[in-house]
Amino acid sequence: MFKIPFLDLPPLRAAAGTVRLPGSKSISNRVLLLAGLSEGQTLVHDLLDSDDTAVMLASLKVLGCQLEQVPGGPLKVTGIGGRLVNKDAQLFLGNAGTAMRPLTAALALLAATQGGAFELAGVARMHERPIGDLVDALRELGCEIACLGSEGYPPLRLSGPSRLRLAEPVRVRGDVSSQFLTALLLALPLVATQDVVIEVVGELISKPYVHITLELLKRFGIEVRADGWQRFTIPAGSRYRSPGEVHVEGDASSASYFVALGAIAAAETPIRIEGVGSASLQGDVRFVEAAQAMGAEVRAEANALEVKRGAWPLKALDLDCNHIPDAAMTLAVMALYADGPSTLRNIASWRVKETDRIAAMATELRKLGASVEEGPDWLRVHPLRAWKPASIHTYDDHRVAMCFSLAAFNGLVTDSAVPVRILEPHCVAKTFPDYFETLFEVVTARPEDIPVLTIDGPTASGKGTLADEVAHELGYVILDSGMLYRATGLAAHRAGLDLDDGAAVAAIVPAMDLHFRKGRVTLGEEDITDALRAEAAGLMASQVAAHPQVRSALNQLQLDFRRVPGLVADGRDMGSTVFPDAPLKVFLTASAATRAERRYKQLISKGISASMEGLRADLEARDARDKGRSASPLKPAQDAQSLDNSAQTIEESRDLVLAWWAERRPF
């Protein structure tokens, strides 16, 4: 996950490959609650690991459920069998509607029948999201509920015992959120000593989510009798029975971003999306139909989708989105690539989601330059051809962040492509913590569009440290080019080659089986990370680096690191030779005494013995060789910014370089 203040997406051009979706949030949290209320053990496979499931799991634990994660396997949930173990608890539910609503219903009913006191609270936005219709329905039933802030909103206090009135139908509004009905359906089996009837008042929205609820209840042994979408009966004697094992489907709403990606950018080979398909329970798979209406070519298997671009530009759309409320946000961004204005209707529920999504989408689309009209329950988006670089505010709303990533394909409809900045990208943790990593696996950009920041300088000036810090803050890829020279030197040495024989050393480069993964370097099967860090490897590197043949053999390997979303490259000639078009080139120096002392401390802290005098002599010899060689000698690129960090802390250098970077970005 990118836990950084912003993530800049360079102009993207194409997409191809396979993505595996994380588990569905709606199914995950329903399954967890049902497993938690059941007697016995349920093995939950493919559970979504996200903020919203984390709060549900934390709540179940407080309520007395036992949770055990099988390493690399399912989660074992041992339920409370409908009997309260802990009758007094305070639960913090973040901004998770899929936890707040059903837990309110379940705990209100359990407190009424078994006694207890529970406080349910969340983040500030959760306290602005209405829950009054559910509270009213539960109070009508006889539950004791106090709204601790504003009436009709969390935080709530649920207490009991109190007498329940189950003979009369429970009436609940269905036209604001279907989650109130879902909450009652999930919780009422707890008290179904007689038939319990729920009557929906008003036109029920988001019916597919209620369908998921009914299907999952069935898997847990509860056969609700549905009379259209208006009346539901939970039969007397209903009891949650664990099915033993449950597999959570991939998230169909998350699939929408990749379906759209295929429609926009998979011009050659399709995007394959694994985890949802024609057999999916989730209503949001019907997003596929909307994408097809806009031109996507889709091939559906039971549990996978393959999507390619069909019509281009996309075809404008006028759609009632009641059946795909969450996925429909993706259509608003697809509409920018359409051949006319697109209208999304019947989306009033957007106003009470993680944020007011109609206002949020309209505001952010306009920042890109789009012309947008909005009404109480509709949004009209006009196609965009003159795009502006924009910082997209994400309102702590995962879907805003994910759907605006698709704006980075603007280069497919304009000659002046612009990057897109996504603020607070970590909000995707709500349902898809690795969304951006997954996206980056399947998209490509033109190398010249991918920004590079270079840091060159002599040994121990702090290049590697600064590069790590800066790359981390920007979410960029790192190239430690010295490691490539070190690996080449080591491999040549091991092969018994004369390191002064440039042609012989260069000849082994194409066959070097070198891999960089999670900070470790492997050569063939062997992890050579520690061997590469040794000073001896540095000296060998400096020796082989003097040969023009070796430098050109390593050139393409270095260029291959220029990957989305951007690159921070450190070395000796990153700015002067390898990435001459980098928008920011830093030449980092520090006095020889400072550098020798830093290296000394670094080695001692790793338990490697060293002498300060010896190190200083070595680094001065290395500087002389790196500066004196004829091939790409160590010297600042003409347009480099010099930085002597002798008297600076690491943080000061980092902040200065980030400030220089900010000056060069168009946001």
Ligand X SMILES: Nc1ncnc2c1ncn2[C@@H]1O[C@H](COP(=O)(O)OP(=O)(O)O)[C@@H](O)[C@H]1O
**Catalytic residue ranges:** 326
Q: 119 near 90, Cβ under 8 Å?
A: yes
Question: What residue 8 binds from ligand X, ligand YYY, none (CB within 5 to 8 A, per partner kind)?
Answer: none
Q: Are strands 520-523 and 526-527 parallel, antiparallel or unpaired?
A: antiparallel
Question: What residue 53 binds from ligand YYY, ligand X, none (CB within 5 to 8 A, per partner kind)?
Answer: none
Q: Which residue has the tokens 């109609």?
A: 358
Contact status: 459 vs ligand YYY (CB under 6 A): yes
Select 310 or 464, whichever has its Cβ closest to ligand YYY.
464
3-state helix, strand, coil in the chain (%, to 5): 40, 20, 35
Q: How many residues does the chain have?
A: 667
Q: Which residue has the tokens 């306009």?
A: 366
Q: CB under 6 A: which stretch of 90-98, 128-136, 566-574, 590-598 binds ligand YYY? A: 566-574
- The span from the CA of 409 to the CA of 172, in Å, is 44
Contact status: 572 vs ligand YYY (CB under 6 A): yes
The two tokens of residue 545 are 């680096």
Select 372 or 492, whichever has its Cβ closest to ligand YYY.
492
254 burial via Cβ count (<10 Å: 0-12, 13-18, 19+): buried
CB of 548 to ligand YYY, least distance (A): 11
Is 625 labeled as ligand-binding?
no
Is 313 labeled as ligand-binding?
no
Q: CB under 6 A: which stretch of 119-127, 340-348, 363-371, 479-487 binds ligand YYY? A: 479-487
Q: Between residue 12 and residue 71, which ones bind ligand YYY under the rule CB under 6 A?
A: none
Q: 404 near 412, Cβ under 8 Å?
A: no
Q: CB under 6 A: which stretch of 107-115, 293-301, 339-347, 457-465 binds ligand YYY? A: 457-465
Give residue 549's identity as a one-letter amino acid code: Q
CB of 536 to ligand YYY, least distance (A): 11
CB of 650 to ligand X, least distance (A): 5
> According to CB under 6 A, which one of 53, 182, 280, 459 is a site residue for ligand X?
459
Q: What's the start-to-end Cα distance of the chain, in Å?
A: 23
Question: What residue 622 binds from ligand YYY, ligand X, none (CB within 5 to 8 A, per partner kind)?
Answer: ligand YYY
Select 142 or 458, whichever has its Cβ closest to ligand X.
458
Q: Between residue 509 and residue 538, which ones bind ligand YYY under the rule CB under 6 A?
A: 538
Edge-to-edge strands, sheet with 297-301: 17-20, 271-274, 304-308, 297-301
Question: What residue 465 binds from ligand YYY, ligand X, none (CB within 5 to 8 A, per partner kind)?
Answer: ligand X
> According to CB under 6 A, which one of 486, 547, 616, 654 is a site residue for ligand YYY?
486
Is 415 labeled as ligand-binding?
no
Q: Count the Cβ atoms, other than its own, within 10 Å of residue 16.
A: 18
DSSP bridge pairs for 69? 75
Is 642 labeled as ligand-binding?
no
Contact status: 589 vs ligand YYY (CB under 6 A): no
Is 458 labeled as ligand-binding?
yes
Residues 610/616/620/626 CA torsion (nearest 10 deg): 40
Contact status: 618 vs ligand YYY (CB under 6 A): no
556 burial via Cβ count (<10 Å: 0-12, 13-18, 19+): exposed
Contact status: 541 vs ligand YYY (CB under 6 A): yes
Residue nearest to ligand YYY (CB): 482
Contact status: 465 vs ligand X (CB under 6 A): yes
Q: 560 near 506, Cβ under 8 Å?
A: no
274 Cβ neighbours under 8 A, 6+ residues apart: 18, 19, 20, 21, 250, 303, 304
> According to CB under 6 A, which one of 159, 322, 410, 481 is a site residue for ligand YYY?
481
CB of 460 to ligand X, least distance (A): 4
Q: 15 near 262, Cβ under 8 Å?
A: yes
> According to CB under 6 A, which one of 53, 178, 461, 542 is a site residue for ligand X?
461
* 591 phi, psi to nearest 5 deg: -65, 155
Is 104 labeled as ligand-binding?
no
| HEC-encoded secondary structure of 393-434 | CCCCCHHHHHHHHHHHHHHHCCCCCCCEEEECHHHHHHCCCC
Contact status: 589 vs ligand X (CB under 6 A): no
Select 368 or 637, whichever has its Cβ closest to ligand X.
637
Structural Rg of the chain based on CA atoms: 29
The two tokens of residue 272 are 């394959």
Q: Between residue 607 and residue 666, which ones bind ligand X under the rule CB under 6 A?
A: 645, 648-650, 653
Q: 88 vs 85, 110, 159, 242, CA distance in Å?
A: 9, 11, 9, 26
Residues making up the annotated binding site for phosphoenolpyruvate are: 25, 97, 129, 179, 357, 399, 430
Annotated binding site for 3-phosphoshikimate: 25-26, 30, 177-179, 206, 326, 353
| Residue numbers at the binding site for ligand YYY (CB under 6 A) | 459-460, 464, 481-482, 485-486, 538, 541-542, 545, 571-574, 622, 626
Q: Which residues bind ligand X (CB under 6 A)?
A: 459-465, 598-599, 602, 645, 648-650, 653
